């Protein structure tokens, strides 16, 4: 596997800690549900066999000419040979996006209700060793904050916590979902992976979408980035989407955090993971996010290594061509210019009025906790709404019914 | 021979009469273009996904001109039970008795599930809905839908949004030939000529959305569809001429040996 290391993440302290013994990241901890599923082994073996240098312009041409993009075509589209075809890929992606979504662009905003975390992920601002202000909103504060967000006209909310089962247990997240149902039509979750019965409970509380970032699909690299905590257990995280579907969730989201490892392999694994899950559960709605590494509090050097805008666009357009029906979210990790252009080409969902800290919509300073990463696009809901219109697109607040 | 007066050629659905045989989808437009599309298409029925209705600060219902019949659909339903729930909700919020039943549990092609659709149709027809089921063109399923109380059937021409035209032509023709309810071709129609083709085949009406919503000039494309559908309907009523495939036809190639008088 790739030995690429993103030096921008590493500090002296982290380098020391990486030398210490750690628990086996491939062994499930007690209480972690184990699925009888072969999707993980299929994804990993395909990724391991992927040789990005094996593809030529002819393969890319064939992929672009094909009516339906096969996994082999997708491999060609994310290879370096496809970079010279970027404009054509963007045009094809745009065509597919319009065919499946018309000119709809969906809007949402995240709400971070707690930033306590038990994991040590060395690139993340919330990691348990990072000295930041920690906070957790109580039910009144959640309600107050949601009320303020709903006034902006948004109808879709994504509830996030740091990954601490102790500080943000399933019941607490469930209460947040119940409050959210009063103010929003669509509720998504981006919280720690859990068992299918817990997903079923949160579905009953009103949530219908679950996103889990695998960060990197290279388990050896994963091990060196997630030094402690539940998140360290690679296979449990991998199967989170499948458990969520089994728990009754309507849709699941996938992402690799681009810049942690070989981004082409990670993009391949992300796409193939989603592809196989959709084949196994054809009713499940599929979503992709395409996050690149960002600077965090106490390490402003962090950057996405070799994933520049061109590479990002290549990955996003390849996802679109491979799975034309999938939702693609573009977060505030990217700047206004990139986001405005990506919704024109392939992205179908965009956040607005974003805060990635805790309680930042509230007046009460004591409720506040520090943010997960630095955002690059601080536009308000109104500003993003108008920008969507300016592109000749249609801002859609919700296209969903809870049944 | 007299030209049939097309004004007397009404499209009857669930006891309601319509002059237009064009059903317009509303899913993929900017809201302010819906009105223009309805006007130029001359459509009297417009579909509406309940999940898109009542969108907070902008309500799609406000953009639909008065006098147009709303056809709420059950999109978002993955089972018969969910479709029934959505249909009941749509009646509660004042969308009327028409309902287009869509049950889809395939997010890739969005192909309808005929089995679940039949179950939902049976329940909803009993509750007094005018049920218009979206279906895959299968004759047995279509017959079951009719027995279950469907007011029409809406077979797909091609996967929704694909603009591929009537890929299922021969099977839709079978439905048109065999069923006593209107057959409305839904999904896949990418251009006016394909809508015209459906009407020539004897379809009672055509439904389209993506083809118009993604056109360069939406009002003009809406109008082009209107004309094509009217032309196709007139051609159907006129009775299409015989097509001779290769050269001229021999008068009686196989029976020429017969003589007026049989040999003894």
Residue B251: is its pLDDT beyond 80?
A: no
Ordered alpha helix ranges (H), A247-335: 263-280, 309-322
Q: Evaluate whether residue A182 is within a structural domain.
A: yes
Q: Looking at this predicted complex, what is its ipTM?
A: 0.79
Residue B30: is its pLDDT beyond 70?
A: no
Q: Evaluate whether residue B247 is within a structural domain.
A: no
Please name the residues between 79 and 98 in chain A that touch chain B, using a CB distance below 8 Å: 98
pLDDT recorded at residue B57: 47
Q: In terms of CA atoms, which chain A residue is nearest residue B113?
A: A283
Tokens standing for B102?
């869509």
Residue B228: is its pLDDT beyond 60?
A: yes
Q: Evaluate whether residue B26 is within a structural domain.
A: yes
pLDDT recorded at residue B217: 85
> Residue written as tokens 């536009």?
A379
Higher pLDDT, A107 or A359: A107
Q: Terminal CA-to-CA distance of chain A, rounded, Å?
A: 44
Q: Tell me how far CA of residue B259 lies from CA of A204, B250, B256, B262, B263, in angstroms.
A: 82, 17, 8, 6, 8
Domain count of chain B? 1
pLDDT in tens, A358-395: 888 888 777 788 888 888 899 999 999 999 999 989 89
pLDDT in tens, A321-335: 999 999 999 989 999
Contact A325 B110 (CB under 8 A): yes
Return the H-helix or E-strand segment holding B144.
Answer: helix B139-147
Q: Evaluate whether residue B153 is within a structural domain.
A: yes
Q: Evaluate whether residue A232 is within a structural domain.
A: yes
pLDDT recorded at residue A1: 53
pLDDT band at A253 (very low <50, low <70, confident <90, very high): very high
Q: Is A103 on the interface with B (CB under 8 A)?
A: yes
Q: What is the CATH number of the domain that holds B179?
A: 3.20.20.70
Q: Which residues contact A40 (CB under 8 A, 6 or more apart)?
A: A235, A238, A239
Q: Evaluate whether residue B21 is within a structural domain.
A: yes
> Which of B108, B158, B212 to mutate to probe the A interface, most A CBs <10 Å?
B108
Q: Evaluate whether residue A1 is within a structural domain.
A: no
Residue A191: is its pLDDT beyond 60?
A: yes
Range of the domain at B43: 7-238
SS3 A183: helix
pLDDT recorded at residue B62: 72
- Highest-pLDDT range among A223-232, B145-154, B218-227: B145-154
Decide: A79 and A318 in contact? Cβ < 8 Å: no
**Cα(A43)–Cα(A75) distance, integer angstroms:** 13
> Which of A68, A70, A71, A102 to mutate to probe the B interface, most B CBs <10 Å?
A102
Domain count of chain A? 1
Name the burial class of residue A98, with classes exposed (0-12), middle (13-18) and buried (19+) by CB atoms within 10 angstroms of its CB. middle
Q: Evaluate whether residue A401 is within a structural domain.
A: no
Q: What proportion of chain B, given as a percentage, has pLDDT over 90?
A: 49
Q: Tell me how far CA of residue B9 lies from CA of B12, B19, B228, B232, in angstroms.
A: 9, 7, 16, 13
Decide: A139 and A384 in contact? Cβ < 8 Å: no
Q: What is the mean pLDDT of residues A167-190?
A: 96
Range of the domain at A245: 7-26+35-396
Contact B78 A283 (CB under 8 A): yes
Q: What is the mean pLDDT of residues A73-83?
A: 97
pLDDT in tens, A332-346: 999 999 999 999 999
Q: Enumerate long-range contacts of B256-259, CB under 8 Å, 24 or more apart.
A: none
Contact B107 A278 (CB under 8 A): yes
Q: What proportion of chain A, given as a percentage, has pLDDT over 70?
A: 99
CA dihedral B90, B190, B140, B74 (to 10 degrees): -10
Q: Is A386 on the interface with B (CB under 8 A)?
A: no
Name the burial class of residue B200, with classes exposed (0-12), middle (13-18) and buried (19+) by CB atoms within 10 angstroms of its CB. middle
Q: What proportion of chain B, given as a percentage, has pLDDT over 70?
A: 88
Q: Terminal CA-to-CA distance of chain B, rounded, Å?
A: 48
**Cα(A95)–Cα(B69) distance, integer angstroms:** 31
What count of other Cβ atoms lies within 10 Å of the Cβ of residue A89?
A: 25
**Cα(A207)–Cα(A379) distance, integer angstroms:** 26
Tokens standing for A204?
């009953």
pLDDT band at A4 (very low <50, low <70, confident <90, very high): confident
Residue B94: is its pLDDT beyond 60?
A: yes
DSSP for residue B104: B
Contact B51 A400 (CB under 8 A): yes
Contact A103 B214 (CB under 8 A): yes
Q: Evaluate whether residue B246 is within a structural domain.
A: no
Q: Evaluate whether residue A49 is within a structural domain.
A: yes
B100 annotated active-site: yes
Decide: A200 and A248 in contact? Cβ < 8 Å: yes
Q: What is the CATH number of the domain that holds A174?
A: 3.20.20.70
């Amino acid at each position: 596997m790739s030995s690429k290391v993103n030096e921008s993440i590493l500090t002296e302290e982290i380098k020391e800690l990486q030398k210490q013994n750690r628990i086996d990241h491939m062994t499930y901890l007690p209480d972690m549900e184990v699925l009888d599923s072969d999707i993980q082994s299929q994804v990993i073996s395909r990724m391991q066999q992927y040789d990005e240098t094996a593809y030529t312009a002819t393969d890319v041409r064939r992929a672009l000419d094909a009516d339906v993009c096969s996994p082999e075509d997708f491999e060609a589209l994310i290879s370096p040979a496809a970079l010279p075809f970027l404009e054509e890929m963007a045009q094809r992606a745009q065509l597919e996006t319009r065919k499946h979504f018309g000119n709809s662009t969906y809007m949402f905003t995240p709400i971070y209700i707690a930033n306590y975390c038990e994991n040590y992920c060395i690139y993340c601002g919330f990691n348990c060793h990072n000295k930041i202000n920690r906070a957790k909103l109580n039910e009144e504060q959640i309600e107050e904050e949601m009320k303020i967000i709903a006034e902006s006209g948004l109808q879709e909310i994504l509830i996030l916590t740091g990954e601490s089962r102790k500080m943000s247990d399933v019941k607490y997240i469930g209460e947040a979902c119940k409050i959210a149902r009063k103010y929003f039509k669509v509720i998504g979750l981006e919280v720690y992976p859990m068992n299918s019965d817990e997903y079923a409970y949160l579905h009953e509380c009103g949530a219908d979408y679950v996103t889990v970032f695998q960060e990197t699909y290279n388990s050896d690299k994963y091990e060196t980035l997630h030094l402690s905590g539940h998140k360290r257990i690679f296979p449990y995280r991998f199967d989170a989407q499948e458990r969520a579907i089994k728990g009754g969730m309507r849709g699941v989201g996938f992402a690799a955090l681009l810049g942690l490892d070989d981004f082409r392999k990670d993009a391949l694994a992300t796409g193939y993971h989603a592809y196989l899950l959709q084949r196994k559960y054809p009713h499940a709605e599929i979503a992709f996010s395409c996050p690149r590494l960002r600077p965090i509090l106490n390490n402003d050097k962090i950057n996405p290594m070799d994933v520049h805008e061109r590479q990002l666009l290549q990955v996003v357009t390849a996802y679109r061509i491979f799975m034309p029906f999938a939702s693609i979210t573009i977060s505030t990790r990217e700047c206004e210019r990139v986001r405005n252009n990506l919704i024109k080409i392939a992205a179908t969902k965009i956040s607005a009025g974003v805060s990635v800290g805790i309680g930042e919509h509230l007046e009460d300073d004591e409720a506040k906790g520090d943010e997960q990463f630095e955002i690059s696009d601080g536009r308000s809901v109104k500003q993003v709404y108008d920008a969507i219109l300016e592109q000749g697109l249609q801002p859609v607040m919700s296209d969903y019914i809870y049944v | 021979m007299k030209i049939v007066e097309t004004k007397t050629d009404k499209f009857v659905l669930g006891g309601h009469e319509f002059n237009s045989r064009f059903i317009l989808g509303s899913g993929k437009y900017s809201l302010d273009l819906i009105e223009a599309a309805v006007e130029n298409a001359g459509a009297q029925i417009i579909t509406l996904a309940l999940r898109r209705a009542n969108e907070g600060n902008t309500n799609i219902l406000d953009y639909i001109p008065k006098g147009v019949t709303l056809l709420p659909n059950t999109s978002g339903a993955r089972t018969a039970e969910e479709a029934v729930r959505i249909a009941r909700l749509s009646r509660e919020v004042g969308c009327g008795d028409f309902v287009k039943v869509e049950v889809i549990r395939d997010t890739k092609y969005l192909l309808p599930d005929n089995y679940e659709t039949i179950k939902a149709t049976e329940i909803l027809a009993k509750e007094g809905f005018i049920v218009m089921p979206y279906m895959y063109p299968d004759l047995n399923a279509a017959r079951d839908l009719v027995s279950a109380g469907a007011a029409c059937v809406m077979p797909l021409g091609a996967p929704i949004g694909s603009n591929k035209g009537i890929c299922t032509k021969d099977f839709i023709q079978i439905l048109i030939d065999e069923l006593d309810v209107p057959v409305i071709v839904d999904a896949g129609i990418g251009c006016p000529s394909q809508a015209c083709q459906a009407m020539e085949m004897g379809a009672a009406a055509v439904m389209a959305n993506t083809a118009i919503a993604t056109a360069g000039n939406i009002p003009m494309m809406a109008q082009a569809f209107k004309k094509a559908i009217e032309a196709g309907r007139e051609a159907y009523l006129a009775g299409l001429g015989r097509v001779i495939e290769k050269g001229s036809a021999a008068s009686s190639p196989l029976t020429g040996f017969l003589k007026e008088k049989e040999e003894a």
